[in-house]
Amino acid sequence: MAQHHILKNSILSEIINSISGKHFTTYTVVNKLESNYQDIFNEMKRNSRRNYQAVIGTAIKRFSIETNKIKQISSRDESPARWEKT
């Protein structure tokens, strides 16, 4: 199983729905994951100490493709990625 599959779409949906406003960044999701879902956050950080934020970003990208509830509004090379709720 890929590392980003630890973060399920249902949890990402809850996090994204809790964000006020239409625009957010990957860091917004990382911070909400850390404060509200510490067990998942700690597992991801433990398994990928140096790249956990990139793994979370990959999960967000997967969520975007699978659900069409958000879309990336930044260029591919911009970090952190900017997202928009659709």
Query: What domain range includes position 69?
Result: 3-85
- Whole-model pTM: value is 0.91
**Largest Cα–Cα separation, the chain:** 33
In the prediction, which pLDDT does 3 show? 65
Both tokens assigned to 29: 């999701």
Helix (H) or strand (E) holding 83: strand 82-85
In the prediction, which pLDDT does 4 show? 65
Instruction: Decide if pLDDT at 19 tops 90.
Output: yes
By residue count, the chain amounts to 86
Q: How many domains does the chain have?
A: 1
Angle at CA of residue 19, ends 48 and 44, nearest 5° = 10
Instruction: Decide if pLDDT at 1 tops 50.
Output: no
Please write the tens of the pLDDT for every residue from 20-70: 999 999 999 999 999 999 999 999 999 888 899 999 999 999 999 999 999
Which CATH number fits the domain that encloses residue 49? 1.10.10
